[in-house]
Amino acid sequence: MKEINIAKVLVKKRKEKGITQDQLANYIGVSKASVSKWETEQSYPDVTFLPQLAAYFNISIDELMDYKPEMAKEEIRKLYRRLSSDFASKPFDTVMDDCHQIIKKYYSCFPLLLQMGILMINHAELLKDPQKSVSLIEEARALFIRVKEESDDVSLTRQALYVEAMCSLAAGDPNTVLELLDGAVAPALPPESLLAPAYQMTGRIDEAKSVLQVGIYQNIVVLFNFFPAYLMMCTDDSSKFEEVLRRALNIAEVFEMRRLHPGVLVSLYISAAQGYIVQGNPSKAIDMLQQYTEIVTSDIYPLSLHGDDFFDLLEGWLIKLDLGTDPPRDEKTIRRSMADMIVNNPNFSVLSDKQRFQNITEKLQSNCCED
């Protein structure tokens, strides 16, 4: 990610042109020693020589300097992994200083800015001061707004709009969410329903199957993003609550979500436990927390996105995601968060004198220390 690589460009272009350092020096009007220093990175050409050098080799000044304001997708992915790991092992402010330097350096690289904002909101909970968490989310929101307003990539601006709305919701600003998302649900127009038959008609059967698998997989994950919120909205109707939970757990069992995507189940069990607390049923709440604990303390680590015997054509799609198959946070941070969601959750304080609950918190805290 070095900004200026003019030395290697000069060497390459001079050799392509078949000229000596002397010849280049004579054309520019400098000494051979100056050209030699440029090519060995001992010094840089004066800025006034850059247009002349670029014109001589018939390239742009950016090409001459090998300056790449855009960071490649794989570089962004590696950077995200490193920073996520740093958040788990270094002081928060130190990592944020690093983030700010990177953002400043690549302020026009919109895919990077999007991921930096997502990195911030995924680690905001590490800040124990609620006001600082709010400030961090606002900082992330500003990045999403920049991406939305400045990027020409339609897919990128759509993602930025969505996470901007997430930030507004986290900040307790529902009206902005409704405004950003137009307050209505548009009919779903899944491209998979057109892509799959198109691939099939051209004889590309495996690609048709893969497209449909991706569509099924994504819709199942989205479905489990809906269940926890809907479950909590049904706490005033115990029969409805039980039916929602029953159907969700049945779908989870059919698609073997504990192995396929355990992350989507943990929110369901937490919501179910909170719902039972609201309904005055601490025993069932603890049952749900035990299910939660069984998942998060099992052999699911290291977490990664993957397929299974049914979803056996996902790999090509998964590796193309922004973060590939990696989770959005480091494993240490995830384990701590899994424990904090129960141990430090005020909704479960009414269970603190229950032995079963104490056993759960002890097991979760022990899980934080495992590698």
Convert the pLDDT of each residue in 181-210 to its tens digit. 988 777 777 899 999 999 999 999 999 999
Q: At 61, is the pLDDT very low, low, confident or very high (cuts 50, 70, 90)? A: confident
- DSSP for 142-164? HHHHHHHHH---HHHHHHHHHHH
C-alpha span between 54 and 21 (Å, rounded): 16
Backbone φ, ψ for residue 24 (5° rounding): -65, -40
Residues 71, 75, 78, 84, Cα dihedral to 10°: 0
C-alpha span between 86 and 210 (Å, rounded): 36
Same CATH topology for 6-65 and 73-180: the answer is no
Angle at 23 between CA 21 and CA 26, to 5 degrees: 105
Token pair 């392509």: residue = 16
C-alpha span between 276 and 270 (Å, rounded): 10
3-state class (DSSP) for residue 85: helix
- Quick: pLDDT tens for 100-157: 999 988 888 999 999 999 999 999 999 989 999 999 999 999 999 999 999 989 999 9
Angle, helices 192-201/205-233, rounded to nearest 10 degrees: 170
- Quick: pLDDT tens for 33-47: 999 999 999 999 999
Task: Write out the two tokens for 289.
Answer: 């927390």
Per-residue model confidence (pLDDT) at position 1: 42
Angle, helices 238-254/263-278, rounded to nearest 10 degrees: 160
CATH fold of the domain at 6-65:
434 Repressor (Amino-terminal Domain) (1.10.260)
Q: At 175, is the pLDDT very low, low, confident or very high (cuts 50, 70, 90)? A: very high
**Where do the domains of the chain lie?**
6-65, 73-180, 192-368
Q: What dotted CATH number matches 73-180?
A: 1.25.40
C-alpha span between 214 and 311 (Å, rounded): 8
C-alpha span between 75 and 79 (Å, rounded): 6
Token pair 């030395």: residue = 7
